[in-house]
Structures are given as C-alpha cells and as structure tokens.
Structure 1
Amino acid sequence: MNKLLNRRQFLTAASGATAALAGSLSLPALAAEGRERVRIGMIGTGMRGQVLLRELLRRDDVEVSALCDIEPIMLGKALAQVEKEGKPRPRTYGDNGDKHAYRAMLDAKELDGVIIATPWEWHAQMAIDAMQAKVPVGCEVVAGVSLQDHWDVLNTQLKTGTPYMLLENVCYRRDVMAVLQMVRSGLFGELVHLQGGYQHDLRAVKFNNGDPAKPYGSGVEFGGKGWSEARWRTEHSVQRNGELYPSHGIGPCAMYANINRGNRFTRINTFATKARGLHEYIVKQGGAEHPNAQAKFKLGDVVTTTISCENGETILLQHDTSLPRPYSLGFRVQGTNGLWMDVNHGIHIEGISKPHQWDDFQGYQDKFDHPLWRKYAEKASGAGHGGMDYFVIHAFIEALKANAPMPIDIYDAVTWSAITPLSEQSIAQNYQTLDFPDFTKGAWAKRKPIFAFGDKY
C-alpha cells in the first residue's frame, strides 16, 4: 500500500479481509479418506497435559484411548478428569515407572494421533518414536533441545511422512489472529520490523516446596525436591543460557513475515544479562542459609535475540522469566503505514490515526476479528489461556480428521524451536552472529503463505 489510508479505505480493508478469508477459513469437508472421529493418546498428564486433556474430552469427535505418565498422582488426576466427563476409561501406561512405557502405547497400533506434553528434554525422542510408529504427533513446545534434535525430528518426519504439529497456542490468540488479518490486508503497508517474546515472571513456577497440592510459590526447592515444573524446568536455568522458550513470541512474528513461505530467517545473534533474579528469589523466600542459595544459574535474567530475514525484516525476541514483572509477550508489528503494540493495546495507522498519537486497538480488533474466532468463540469460552488452547487442539484434530497438512508443520516447528540452541551458541561464542539453518533446503522460496492459525482451521 503506497498511499495513505483514509477512513473509508480502512473500513473497506477490514470488510474485504473478512470476506476474502471467511470462505477459505471455513472447515473443509472431510476428504473421502477422512474420519469423523479420532483416537488420541497422551504422553504426559501433568498440569499442562491435564489442560489439553480437558479440551480433548470436551469434543465428541475424540476418543481419548490411552494415557501415559510415570507419576501416579498425575495419571490419577487425568483419569479422574475422564471419569468426570463420563468418558470410557483409557488404557494406561507408565504405572510401573518405566520412562519408556510410552513406546508400548505407540506400538499398540490403535491411535490416530498422540499429544506429547512432557518435559522439554523428552520431546524430540518421543516425537521421533511416534513418527516411526506412524502415529501423528501434536507436540507441546519446544521441538527439541539441541540443534541436532531438530534435524533428527525433521529428517524423521520427512522420511516417514507422519504428520507433526507444534502445539503453539499463542498463534491462536484473538488479537494475534486479528493482526494477521490486518497484515494480509496490507493495513500496515510493507512489514519492516517485528517483536515478541516470553516475558513472564516464572519464579513461583520454578520453585516450590515439593508438595503436589502446592505446585506454585510454596517454597524454594527444585530438582528432586521440587514438584511439577520445579522438578525439571528449573534445571534448564541452571545449565543453559539462551532464548529457552521462543515459540510464543516467534510463532506469530514468523506468521506475519511468511517465514518458510516466501521468506526465511538468515542470521541470528543473542545477548544475555547477568543472572541475579532466581538467586534473589531464593534468598528472599528461603533465606541466605538455604542450601539452594548456593546454586549457580547460567540463564541471564533478560535474553535478547535479533534475527534478520531474507526479505529485509528484522525480528527482536526477549526472554525474561526471572525478575518481578507483569506478564507480556511484547508484540510489535511495524510497517511503512503504521504499527501495533500489544503492551499498550495501541495501534497507529498513518492517514487514520491522529499524527503522533495511539488509537485504542479494540475497535480494530472488532473490525478485523478472525473468522475462526467469530465462529468458535462460544465453544472456546472457558478453555485454557483465554481460549487459545481450544483452537490449537481444534486445529490438530481437524487436520487429523481431514488427513490434511498440519497448520503449524514440521518446518515451522524446527525453525521456531531451533532459535534456542542457536541463541545458546551465539552467547557461548561471545555473542557471535550466526547463519540460520535453512531447514527447508530452499523450498521456502516456493511455498505459499497459507499456514498456521489460518486458512482452514
């Protein structure tokens, strides 16, 4: 858009975007080989797994056939959810504490798909095992830990052809999806710069007293003495320094910039501050004499990553989980005609907004509200994370039923998630700027931008 938008053009763009996308975003009729109902298994029935399980149990087109977890308390809670919903009791695996019991579940050849909601370090191997067993994968973020993990997951998917979807729920946030409509309608003009991140005070998540009834903020234990995420997630803050959780921020930004579909990441570098927040929390909550006050944390309190794109855009990500702060993903979409920022719920469009002033975003969101939200907002009501969890599970299930491509596919998964090991490498090499791997091996140039929270479901 080379001309300034006036108010009439703004209204036309809004209605045009909705009309143009509404047809393509409606759920497709099932293919001849499609299914009306699918059998789903779940590996990992912890607190995140139970949130996703709730969405599966709400659906009449899903049979939860199998559950796997090595923690009896969590497996019991998941079974209680199933019973409460009046659904048949699924087969269970892992009751004996065998960390590889999930393989027996996969080998049973009775699943149409599996959800992986385990600690990060298990994601890659479990996804590989599932794909080799020809069981389609819906994997919680992240896709892997090491860079080699990402190549291994990608190569397995390409070799087996088994569907794989990264369950990145922020791609389905209502304002994020409305902004996608705005981007595709040209409201911001040509995109120039994007920002996002994971800015979330997780101190009360990374520590507790080990009591299953008090998983958040009840103490300063972690590792073997902790419970839930404090048992495994905190150790990543001890051992690693980098952008440890990139997909919440990069997913929407990659969508806006058509990454892997006519555009790609080319270079990356990362800086990290000193690490103080987690130590200070332990001292404040548990006292300077507590043994964990001697723990050394590698993860910088604020980690800043910059990525360049083939088409000339830059993207800035920030990981900020160890200091006191309100939650924010810090989105910013900026183009030649204006910008949106979620921190102040503000938008500025040249020719519509008053010069040098913000407009409230709500009116724009109402006009550009995504057809999926218009259609399914009532069903999503009460779902986890403000409805986003309904949509991410909905997308996975509908793709399975229709034998359709996954909306957040293997290339998206490994590209977004590989930011973590690349950021670690950059920091370790004195903040060196690195080449970003092309996981598509050149296919990005011909792929069309009709992916993720978008064009079908």
Structure 2
Amino acid sequence: MSNKDYDRRKFLKQSSFAMGGLTVAGLGVPMELLGQETTAVPEKKIRLGFVGIGGRGSYHLDVALGIEGVEIPAICELKPDRLHRAKRWIEEAGQPTPRLYDRGPTDFKRLCQEEELDAVIVSTSWKWHAPICLAAMNNNKHAACEVPLIQTLDEGWELVETFERTGKWASLVLGGFGDMTLLNMVRKNLLGDIIHVESGYVHDLRRVKFDPDEEPWRLQHAVDRNGNLYPDHPMRNMMPVLDINHGDRFDHLVSMSSKSVMLNRYAASMYGDDHPYASKKMALGDYNATLIRTVNGKLITLNHDTHTPHPRENFRIQGTSGVYLRDRVDSKIYIEGLSPEEHRWESADKYVKEYEHPMIQNYNPPKRKGGAIRGHGSSDTKTPINWHRLIAALRDNTLPDWDVYDSVTSSSISPLSEASVAQKSKSVDIPDFTKGKWKERTPIYS
C-alpha cells in the first residue's frame, strides 16, 4: 500500500462541513451540538450501556456502579457467563434488571438503536471498537472506548467526520490517565524545551495470548500484522507533553520490526513441538521500534514488545535543560545546574513531590458505593480520575479530556507503522485529523 493511499483522504473536506456556520474552538463543530454553554447539573442521571464485559469491561462496569447517579439499563456481551455476572452485579447494586443484548457479535447495533443512553462503554476485542463507537454516535450517543480506538485510517476519518456531523464524540478515555506530574514538570519548564521522548508498550503477554480466558484474539493480530500494534498507553503521556494537536502535530514516522521467534518457542515449551503454533509463521516481530518526528522538530521513540521476558517499560524525556527517567521502581532525573553531580543521575523523588499536579493534589472524589473495584484493573476503592472526569463531561455536556481528534491521532500510529514496516521502513506521512486546527487548539488538560 502506497503513501498515496494513506494520503487520499488527507486533504478531503478541509473546509468546514455544512453545519449551520457556528463553530467551537475553530473545529467546525456547531455550538448547539456540543452544548458548551450548558451549566453543570450535578443531580442529572447518567445512563450508560456496556458492550463487552470481560476483564476490562467488568472493571469499568464496577467503577460505574460505584458512582452516584450513574444508571446501567443495558448490557451487551457474547459470553453468557460474563453477561449474567454483569446482570447480577447491577442488580446487587440496587439498580433495575438491565436489558440483555446477546444475539451475536453485532447485537450492539440493536442496543444503540433501541436504548436511551448518554454514552456507550466499549471494552471488546479491538476490531469492534470503531464499529461500536460509530453505531453509538450515529444513534445520538457518545462513546467511551478502551484502546486502540481504530485499526485503519479510514475508520479514523469516519469517526472524525461523524463527530463533526452529529456532535457525538468517541474517546479513548477508558485507556487510563496521563502522568500529570510529568506534564507539570514540562509545563513548569523544569526540563527546558522538549527534544525527545522514549517509551512504549513493553509488556510480556505470551501467556495472555494463549489463554482462552484472557485475550486470545490478540494472538491472531500477531499472526496477521507487523508494526506497533498498541501505541495508546505510551501516547497518553507522550502527546500531552509534546502538545500534539495542541500547538504541534505528528509529521511522519519510520518503523522497523525484528524477527519473530518468541511465540513459536513459547508454544513449543508450554504445549510441545507438535502444537500448531510451535511452527506457525508469525507476522509480528518480537520487537518493534517506531520513530516519529513532529512538525516542530521533536522526536519520539515508540517501542512495542509483548513477546520477550522483561520488566515493564519506563519513560524517558529529554529537554534542553535536563532529562527525566520515570521508572516503576526507581525514577531518576538530571537537571543541568541543579543536580548535585555533573552528568550523574539523582533520585527524582523530591521533584515528583514538588511538581505533583494540582489536579491530582485536589482530587478527592466522593466515597464509592460498593468498596474495592472488581475486574481487571486494580483493587482501588476510589473512583479513577479518568472516570470521574468522564462522568463530569457527560453531565456538563462538554468534551472529554481526549477528544475524537486526539484519540484518533493516538491510535493511527498502529496502521501507519504497519505501512512503514511493509515498505522496508519507508517514511510514512501522518494525517492531520484536525485539518489545520492544531495550531490554535488549547492545550490538553489546561
């Protein structure tokens, strides 16, 4: 597939859509659709429909059940045990028995058509994310989705165009919340002008890919695709600190993958040499490195490795005044002129404390109903801040922290990296989903 194919929609519909003339923040979206002037109504009930209630879906369901004023009148799931567990949880939370949608993999369409909902919560396998979001948006509902939001650029453009036509958004807000302390360091100019960031999704998922009760559909992606297949978790930190779509934008990338041997070896060691996956050809390289350059000259090294034995990834950010290495155990920093020893790391503990973001400092949500959160995620007893802000956006009828432009841009790195790998690491241009508005958009989390 050529760059021309990827660019064919790049300049499509560059002017505003015919939507009545009024716009918000230069995005070509009618003011009345977004309801930016609507004042908050704290007592407003929020009605959510859930599509996909496996590990992550059950986690999100339990988060929602613990928030006052959130109702769940409808759920959709293929596996009966998951569907009825979710039904039981909803009933045990004191809510009416939800309507069940279980007539096959596309029954989400019926849910979106029949239910009166504020938003649809999407936690399915990847291929259904964009279709479910589009079904919600086209039926007067917002969509909050697990990552990645899209698998193809065409899906990305369709989501953008549907938002601009309907005012209903799709967001990868469920994928977590960015490191606000890191963002505060950058915005307070501790590190100077940012030049380079490096991180990635580096997480050993061999067992998960072969476990029928986990996410075995991930294994088929490894069979069929080769690139950076999961960019959004690192992007939730990278894009805000680089002002992507908010003063800067991604320009182009190159991507390269290693050979693929680890899944075959894992299958042979766990299940024997005769297991079909012990010899099956895998497209996905065990390690992928993608280099991304922004219009303003910043560089990103984005890594992807779900096949080799390793600890989880760290995050490195280099500026003109210093460098910060965020690690899950022992974060380090070096600031020129401030660190006690020249060209030597010091502990980042005091900086992490000093630069804790006010949004995090001041986050004190109401006590959750139901105690610790169940499902794949954590045992927290406090509503996660991304969920708190999601519900606030729905109540206030405003955009979520990650709007459709940011969400689509983040996930688009996946198909673009595949295109580069397929062309022997040829440079691939990255579409501007904001259609030129990135220069004017206010910073994310501002």
Normalised TM-score (structure 2): 0.85
Q: Indicate how the Cα distance of structure 1 residues 227 and 369 shifts in structure 2: closer, same or farther if over 3 A, else same.
A: same
1:297 aligned to which of 278, 282, 289: 282
State yes or no: 1:186 paired with 2:189.
yes
Alpha-carbon distance in 2 for matches of 1:199, 1:284? 22
Alpha-carbon distance in 2 for matches of 1:327, 1:318? 12
Aligned-pair CA distance for 1:377: 6.1
Moved more, 76-85 or 234-243: 76-85
Contact 1:240 1:298 in 2 (8 A): yes
Q: Indicate how the Cα distance of structure 1 residues 323 and 352 shifts in structure 2: closer, same or farther if over 3 A, else same.
A: same
- 2:113 corresponds to: 107
State yes or no: 1:74 paired with 2:77.
no
State yes or no: 1:90 paired with 2:79.
no
State yes or no: 1:406 paired with 2:404.
no
2:343 aligned to which of 356, 365, 373: 356
1:121-132 mapped onto 2 (5 Å cutoff): 121-132=127-138
Alpha-carbon distance in 2 for matches of 1:65, 1:361? 46
Aligned-pair CA distance for 1:34: 7.4
Alpha-carbon distance in 2 for matches of 1:386, 1:341? 27
Contact 2:206 2:263 in 1 (8 A): yes
1:426 aligned to which of 420, 425, 430: 420
- 1:214 corresponds to: none
State yes or no: 1:375 paired with 2:362.
yes
Alpha-carbon distance in 2 for matches of 1:397, 1:32? 11
Contact 1:170 1:252 in 2 (8 A): no
Q: What per-residue deviation string (whole Å, max 9, x for no partner) do you get for residues 209-255 of structure 1?
A: xxxxxxxxxxxxxxxxx33411x111000000010000111221111
1:267-286 mapped onto 2 (5 Å cutoff): 267-286=252-271
Aligned-pair CA distance for 1:199: 0.3
Moved more, 410-419 or 156-165: 156-165
2:324 aligned to which of 299, 323, 340: 340
Moved more, 422-431 or 104-113: 104-113
2:225 aligned to which of 240, 247, 258: 240
The SS at the match of 2:415 is helix
The SS at the match of 2:156 is helix
Contact 2:40 2:395 in 1 (8 A): no
Letter in 2 for 1:295: K
Moved more, 83-92 or 107-116: 83-92
State yes or no: 1:142 paired with 2:148.
yes
Alpha-carbon distance in 1 for matches of 2:186, 2:266? 41
Percent of aligned pairs with the same amino acid? 37
The SS at the match of 1:188 is coil
Number of equivalences: 401
Aligned-pair CA distance for 1:365: 1.6
Alpha-carbon distance in 2 for matches of 1:437, 1:35? 41
Q: Indicate how the Cα distance of structure 1 residues 32 and 413 shifts in structure 2: closer, same or farther if over 3 A, else same.
A: closer
Contact 1:33 1:403 in 2 (8 A): no
Aligned-pair CA distance for 1:416: 0.6
The SS at the match of 1:143 is coil
Alpha-carbon distance in 1 for matches of 2:124, 2:283? 23
Letter in 2 for 1:198: Y
Moved more, 29-38 or 296-305: 29-38
- 1:215 corresponds to: none
- 2:64 corresponds to: 56
Aligned-pair CA distance for 1:401: 0.6
Contact 1:42 1:67 in 2 (8 A): yes
Q: What per-residue deviation string (whole Å, max 9, x for no partner) do you get for residues 68-109 of structure 1?
A: 112101112222322343333222111xx3222112211124
Letter in 2 for 1:429: Q
Aligned-pair CA distance for 1:339: 1.3
1:151 aligned to which of 150, 154, 157: 157
Alpha-carbon distance in 2 for matches of 1:313, 1:382? 41
The SS at the match of 2:301 is strand
| Root mean square deviation of aligned Cα | 2.2
Contact 2:146 2:175 in 1 (8 A): no
Contact 1:114 1:137 in 2 (8 A): yes
Contact 1:168 1:251 in 2 (8 A): no
Aligned-pair CA distance for 1:121: 0.4
State yes or no: 1:288 paired with 2:288.
no
- 1:444 corresponds to: 438
Q: Indicate how the Cα distance of structure 1 residues 421 and 442 shifts in structure 2: closer, same or farther if over 3 A, else same.
A: same
1:42 aligned to which of 50, 56, 60: 50
Alpha-carbon distance in 1 for matches of 2:140, 2:37? 24
* Runs of 4+ displaced beyond 4 Å: 32-35, 377-383, 385-389
Letter in 2 for 1:186: N
- 2:411 corresponds to: 417
The SS at the match of 2:267 is helix
The SS at the match of 2:435 is coil
